[in-house]
Structures are given as structure tokens and as C-alpha cells.
Structure 1
Amino acid sequence: MDTTSIKNLFKLKSIPIETPKEESPKAEIDSNEESPEESRKRTYHEGGYRDSSRNNGNHTTLSICLDAVYSKFQNEEKEMVEKQQKLKESYVNEQKNRETEIKALTVSLETKEEQLKNKNTDIENHQNTIEMLKAEILDLPRNPEKHNVKATKGASTKFWIGAILLVPITLYLLTFYISTSYSAFFKSFDAKITVIQSVLDAQALNKAWNEGLIEGAFVTLIPFVFLGLGFLIHMFSENKSWVNYVKLGVLFVVTFIFDAILAYEIESKLYELNKTFESPPFDLKIAFTKNQFWGIIFAGFIVYIIWGLVFDFVMKEHREKDKIKNEQEIRQKNVLFLLEKINVLKKEIEEILANIGSTKELVIKTRGRIEELQNIIDGVIIPTKDYKLYASEYVQGWVTFIGEKIAVSRTEKQTMIDSCIETYTTNLENVGANSDNQNLVYLSAL
């Protein structure tokens, strides 16, 4: 039934109820012994009997009368305050539950919005930290002390200069020790070679390998012994202790002695080549008096010392360079770590935003339901099943009059009764009494 029809029903005037001269069978029941419900049923029954007598049982008029009965039923239900309160109790309880739900949702929204604010703040802080770390990465090589890094400024330039110098010095040592070791241990001298050729031989490596595997391997590998000794100088100098200083001194002595052996062997061969019958046997005393002896020693030993110092310097500069590089790598890893955290926070923010949106929708839906419940509470609840009961009593009274008082054939009388029942069924459907709903709600605006 639409709103206009309901409004029209309320405008219908109630049909006066008068005590009929001829009562229906139910009128014989003593009203003092009846319950309120039975009394109300009887009243509707009598009303149907009386109205039928006034309208000769016309089913068209019955439809109008049933509309008036429904309006009367509504007014009666409205006046039953306790019954209305009982009918509305479930709606009141639901409204309270919904209001409690709104409070919980509001608290949840506030919590989520606070989480959203905190996560956005965390992202902003992480981004500021990333910018600061990137600036430090760029500034570290220029100003390491500014960032509490104990490294020498400009270590990279010094490192490359030392590394470049180290290459030719290494090549010199390889050339010198290959040549001198071959000359000292394997070369045969003759009177035709010069002093320089006796020490340095351009074909020393090839000649050594031609003479045999052992000779070639010895001459090839012996320079690396001196390079290894130079590396040990660097290692011992890193940890400053008297033990390492002793080891360092021993290395210098060993290197000097080895260079002296090479020089002694070469000088011995040259001495034997040029000695006469009056020349004394060659020994250290004679070797010490020869300039070439000391020249060979210092041409190897001094350069070896220089190589060791340059190598030590390069390694130290590399270490300084590594300090800066390590600090840069640490900061770069921190940048990547913070970027991952930002990505995680962004995903969490998306989830929170989705939850906030769904929660707001639920709040709007719940508030709408609260308004609906309030309208129900403010309106009138019509128990349609009860109306069906009383309307059936009214129609029974109507049909009773037709059966008792209408002087027509049996067939016509049955037709009239069937028409009245059909009108009654249509009325129930119009007011919703034949539906599954127990109650209908009429808002206060009506």
C-alpha cells in the first residue's frame, strides 16, 4: 500500500457503532466474563453484522467498510502505549546496539587516522634521512672528518700516484734481479764483455730457460722473493710493536745479505777473469774495496727499499680510500634499507586508507539504519496478523447477516458470500496482512 492510500485511510471517518436490535449469536456471551481480546473480537464481529445490515451485504460496500475498519484498527493500536512499547522494544535495542557500533567505529577511525598520520611522518623522516645520506656519500671523499670518518682527505689521488710509480719500480726490480741472479749463478764471463754486460744481460731470461728448467724457473721466480719481502715490510709496519720492528730489521738484513751474495758472486767472477799469478785469492776484504760490489748491492737493495716504502704508502692510501668507500657503502645500504621501509609503509598506508574508506561507508550505513530505526520508534507499528484476526471477525459478522437475513436464493446468497470473501482477501493483500511480515510501520509524518 502506497503512502497516498494510507493517508486517505486516516482521513476516513469511523462508522458509528450502534447496538443492533437483532444481535448476532456472539452477542449472547456475557461481556463481563470476556477477556479484552475476546471483547475486541466481539466488537468487530458485531460491527460487521451491523454494517452488513445497513448495506444489504453488498461486497462493494464491504471494501470501503474494511478500509474504515483498518483505519479504526490503526487508531486503536496507536492508543495502546504499552503494546507499542513492546513492539518497538527490539527496534530500540537494535538502535542502542547500532549507536554502540558507531562509537566503536569512530574510535577505530580515529586510531586508523592516527596510524596514517604516523606512517606519513615516518615516510617523510625516512626521505629526509635518505637525502642526508646521499649528500654525505658525495661529500665523504672531500670532507671525511666532517662525517667522523678517520681517513685522509684526497687519499684517492695519492693512491693513484703511488700505484703509477710502483709499476716501473717493479719492472726495474724484475729486470735487475733476473739479470744479476743469472749473472751470479749461471753466466760464464769472458774478457770480451764489459762490466755493465757482466751485471746486466738483456738475454738473461732466455739464456736461463735455454740452459734448463731449473735455471729458468730460478731466474724467473727469484725477483718475487724480493717483492714478497717488500710486502712483508708493509705488513710488519702496520702493527707497531717491538716484535714487528725486530722482524722488520731482520728482513732488511736478509735482503742486504742476499744482495751482497749476488754482488760477491759477480765480482768474484770478474776478479777471477782479470787476476794474475801475483793476485791474492778473492775474499770479502777484497770485495769491500770494489766500487762495483757496492754498486750492485745498492742498485738492488736501495731500489728494493724504495719499492717497499712506495708499496707501503700505496697500501695505506688504499686503506684510507677503503675507509671512505666502506662508509659510502654503509650509507648506500642504509639508503636501500630506508627505501624498502618506505615501500612497506606505503603498502600499509594503502591498506589503512582502504580500511578507513570501508569503515566510513559502514558508519554512513549504520547511521542510516539508526535513522530508520528512529523513524520506526517515532511511528506506529501495526501488527498485521492481529488485524487479519479482527478483520476476519468483522467479515464473519458481515457474512452472518447475509446468511441469516438476506432473502435470496441459496445460489445468489453463496455468490454474495464468495464476493465478500474475495473482497476480504483483496483487502488483506492491500494492507500487507497476507505477507510474511508480522508488522507494518507507519511513520509519524503520516
Structure 2
Amino acid sequence: MDTTSIKNLFKLKSIPVETPKEEESSKAETNSNVESSEESRKRTYHESGYRDSSRTSGNHSTLSICLDAVYSKFQNEEKEMVEKQQKLKESYVTEQKNKETEIKALTVALETKEDQLKNKNKEIENYQNQIQVFKAEINDLPRNPEKYNVKATKGASTKFWIGTILLVPITLYLLTFYISTSYSAFFKSFDAKVTVIQSVLDARAWERAWSEGSIEGAFVTFIPFVFLGLGFLIHMFNETKTWANYVKLGLLFIVTFIFDAILAYQIESKLYELNKTFDSPPFDIKIAFTTIQFWGIIFAGFIVYIIWGLVFDFVMKEHRDKDKIKNEQEIRQKNVLFLLEKINVLKKEIEEILANIGNTKEIVIKTRGRIEELQNIIDGVIIPTKDYKLYASEYVQGWITFISEKIAVSRTEKQTMIDDCISSYTTNLETVGANSDNQNLVYLSSL
């Protein structure tokens, strides 16, 4: 509020100073005129200002002290106005009830969140227990597959590797034997100077076959795989136990035996021609059946071939059992990873819930603090500063009226005194929170 507006506020009222006799007549007039309580109260403050100013010769320093007393008086008067106080406090009472309702809702929300937190922690604990069970089963499956309804033999992995180790040298033996015997039977020219073993098993058979031609080389190279294929068929027919498969298996052994017999017959025929005399009869099957080399060649290939087929069948069976166990282990491992993902999701949800709980608790604390503030307001006295400003201005007007009418000084000095009084009044309004910018606020005082 600028100086001009303040001065306009204090345009002097012409209130006559009453002598004792005049006061008696004034009382009579007052009794005859009905005034509102507010007008009466304003008049009282005006007259008090006039009277106090007369006692202090309008001193502005004293005015500051007097205004403090006026504020205390106004405060006590407001305290006694019960109905007015109740009306002023209605909004605070309503707000307090709303805050209390909010506290109840927040408390219910907190309990719900805490229950959710408890349930999610319990879920994590259950998942962790399941993970431990799955890990224990993964370790125990190779030892006790039947315990988990897995149709596999114990130690399948160990048996598989033992069979594989045995299968490698047997396979190399068959490759070496059939390359050498097939070359000796079909392409090699025997020399009387070399031994029988050297004639049958030629260390350079593969190299010599390729040197004689690509067809010879390809023949001796791939013929061992025919026998290996026949051995694989032994495994395939043996997988399903049916009479048809048993018949096929028997025919397979017969065919293999005949093939070995042909190789042995060819080699034995060449050896016989190399060593025969004029008296020797022509070589035939009957003669072949009576020679040790013939049967040695057959059994050196056929028996080993059967052994290879049986070992291969055993290895494949153990590999299948091993795969069953491995598959069951993989299933449990996937379950472990799935549960770990669920645990991670739950942990993130728990973090969100904890943050929510923390925020809610913070809101509860602030709301309770506000409820306490409202209770202090309700228990205290509400001072309407806008009303105080009205009555304080009446008091100061009375004070300035005395200066204007009764102080015998120059006009300049009188104006200075009035300005000082207005300044003291403005300072007082600022002190009690009744300045012009916040005149609609209330000043609260707990008594």
C-alpha cells in the first residue's frame, strides 16, 4: 500500500472531543440510537485511539506500543466470539476429517502392499526351493534314472564312452582288413617269394590300388563301408524286437558270411594256383573248405564284423539312454532358468512395491503432520487479519484526529507526525501479517 492510499484511508473524521457533561448527553443520544455491534466496536476503537493519543501527545513511537496492545485486545475479543470462531474453523475441521479419511485409505493401501510384498517373498522362497530340487535331480539322474521314471540304465554315460573307445580300434581294423583282402582277392598278383600272410594282408594295398587305377582305388576304399553299413543294419533291425526283423538279421549274417567266403575263396584260389603241381586237382569249393587259410580269412573278417555290429548296437543303446538322461537334465535345467527369470521379475516388482510403500509412508507422515497442524489451528484462536486491519485503522484514525485537532504545531510538523504514525501503523500490519498483499489470510495464534 503506497503513502497516498494510506493517507486516503485516514481522511479525518470530525469527531468532537467530549467533556464530562457532553459525555452524559452523548450517552443519552447513544441509548436513543440503535447501532450495530460492529459499528459500536469500530467507534470504540476510534475513541480509544483518540484518547490514547491525547495522553501521549500523538507520539508515533508510543503508537507502536499501543497498536501491540490493540492487537492483544482484538485477539482476546475474537477468542470470546465462540460462534464466529466455529465458523472460521469450519474449513479446517472439514480438511482435518478429509485428511483422517485419507490416512485410513493410505493405511489400507499400505496393508495391501505389505501383503503383496509378503506373498511375493514367499513366491521367491518357493521358487528357490524348487530350483534346489531341480539341481539335486540333475545330479542324481545319471545314478538313479528309474527313480524319476526314466527308462535308462545306470551309468549309461560311462558305458557309452567305454563302447566308443572299443569301437574306434575295431573300426580301424575292419577298414585295414577289408581294404587289404579286397585288393588281394581282386587285383593283386601273388608272388611265391612272399609269405601267405603278406599275400593276404598287404600294407600298401590302398596305395597300390590307386596307382593301378581310380576304379581299383575307389573299390578298395569304399568296400569296408559296405560291411560297416551291414553292421549298422544289425543295430537297426535289433532295435525293434519282431520276427520279421529277426529274419532280416539272419539273412544279413548269411549275406555277410557269403561275401567273406567269396573274398576268402578268391585269395585261397590264387594261393593254390601259385603252389599247385601237375598232379594237383583243379581248385574248387571242396578244396577251399579243407584249408585253414580259407576259414582264417572268413573268421578274421566275419567274426570281427559281428563284434563291431554288436558293439555299435551297444554304443547306440547306451547313447540313447544317455540322451534320455540328458534330455531330462535339460528339461530340469530349462525349468531352473525359467524359475530364475520369474524370481528376477518378482524382485523388480518387490522393488516397485517397496518404493510405493516408502512413498505412501512419507505421505502418511506428511498427512499426520498436517492433521496436527489443523488440530493446533482448531484448538487455537483464529485471528481474521482483514477485520483487525479494519479496527486498527479506526484506532489510528482516532489517534491522528487528536493530532490534527489538538496539537498546536506548524502544519509541516503536524504532517510529519501524521506520516510517522502511518508508518508505525504499516509496520504493525506487517508484523501481525495483515499487510495489503495478504489481507485475506488469517493469522493463527494458539492460546
Please classify the TM superposition score into its range, dividing by the shorter chain length. 0.7 to 0.9
Q: What is the SS of the residue equivalent to 1:440?
A: strand
* Aligned-residue offset at 1:81: 2.6
Q: 1:260 to 1:97 in 2, by over 3 A?
A: same
2:427 aligned partner, one-letter code: T
- 8 A contact 1:151–1:323 mirrored in 2: yes
8 Å contact kept, 1:179–1:204: yes
**Superimposed CA distance per residue, residues 62-117 of structure 1 (whole angstroms, 9 cap, x where no aligned partner):** 33332232122112222223322232222222222221221222122212222222
Q: Kindly tell me: are residues 21 and 371 of structure 1, through their superposed partners in 2, closer, same or farther at Cα, counting changes over 3 Å? A: farther
Percent same amino acid among aligned pairs? Answer: 86
1:200 aligns with 2:201: yes
**Of 169-178 and 29-38, the range deviating more from structure 2:** 29-38
Aligned to 2:430: 429
Q: Does the alignment pair 1:439 with 2:442?
A: yes
Mind listing any 5+ residue stretches in structure 2 that lack a counterpart? 1-17
Structure 1 residue 328: Cα displacement: 2.7
Instruction: Please name the residue that 1:370 is paired with.
Output: 371
Deviations 1:124-169 (A, max 9, x none): 2233223333322332222222233222112233223322322232
TM-score, length of structure 1 as denominator length = 0.84
Which amino acid in structure 2 is aligned with residue 326 of structure 1?
N
Q: In 2, distance between residues paired with 1:291 and 1:367?
A: 110
CA distance in 2 between counterparts of 1:396 and 1:325 reads: 103
AA aligned opposite 1:152: T
Q: Deviations over 1:259-306 (max 9, x none)?
A: 232223223334444566777665556555555444433332222111
1: distance between equivalents of 2:256 and 2:33? 139
Are the counterparts in 2 of residues 385 and 433 from structure 1 also a CA contact under 8 Å?
yes
Task: Give CA-to-partner distance per residue, 1:385-436, whole Å, 9 cap, x none.
Answer: 1111111112112222332334444334333323322332232222221162
In structure 2, the CA distance between the partners of 1:19 and 1:220, relative to structure 1 (3 Å rule), is farther
Indicate whether 1:106 and 2:107 are aligned.
Answer: yes
Paired residue type of 1:393:
E
Letter aligned with residue 444 of structure 2: V
- Could you tell me how far apart the structure 1 residues matched to 2:263 and 2:126 are? 69
Q: How does 1:107-256 map to 2 (within 5 A)?
A: 107-256=108-257
Aligned-partner residue type, residue 47 of structure 2: E
Moved more, 172-181 or 128-137: 128-137
CA distance in 1, matches of 2:93, 2:329: 68
- 5 Å-filtered alignment, 1:394-405, equals 394-405=395-406
Deviations 1:230-276 (A, max 9, x none): 11221232233445444434433332232232223223334444566
Mean Cα displacement is larger for which, 61-70 or 239-248? 239-248
* Residue 70 (structure 2) pairs with residue 69 (structure 1): yes
Deviates more, 1:226-235 or 1:271-280: 271-280
After TM superposition, the structure 1 stretch with the greater mean CA deviation from structure 2, 147-156 or 54-63, is 54-63
Deviation larger for 355-364 or 44-53 = 44-53
| Equivalent residues in 2 for 1:345-364, closer than 5 Å | 345-364=346-365
* Residue 346 of structure 1, CA deviation: 3.1
Q: Within 1, Cα distance between the matches of 2:176 and 2:86?
A: 115
2:329 maps to which residue? Answer: 328
8 Å CA contact 1:31–1:39 kept in 2: the answer is no
Deviates more, 1:309-318 or 1:417-426: 417-426
- What is the distance in 1 between the residues matched to 2:189 and 2:338? 69
- Give the stretch that moved more between structures: 290-299 or 107-116: 290-299
**1:187: how far off?**
1.2
Deviation at 1:29, TM superposition (A): 8.9
Runs of at least 5 residues in structure 1 that lack an aligned partner in the other structure = 1-17
Paired residues, what number?
A: 425
| Counterpart in the other structure of 1:84 | 85
- Residue of structure 2 equivalent to 1:9: none
**RMSD across aligned C-alpha pairs, in angstroms?**
3.0
Distance 1:60 1:205, change over 3 A: closer
TM-score by length of 2: 0.84
Give the C-alpha shift of residue 209 in structure 1. 2.1
Amino acid at match of 1:73: F
- After superposition, the Cα gap between the structure-2 partners of 1:286 and 1:374, relative to the gap in structure 1 and judged at 3 Å, is same
User: Quick check: 1:20–1:50 contact (8 Å CA) kept in 2?
Assistant: no
Alignment of 1:8-27 (within 5 A): none
Equivalence for 2:15? none
Deviations 1:321-372 (Å, cap 9, x if unpaired)? 2222333333333333333433343333333333322322221121111101
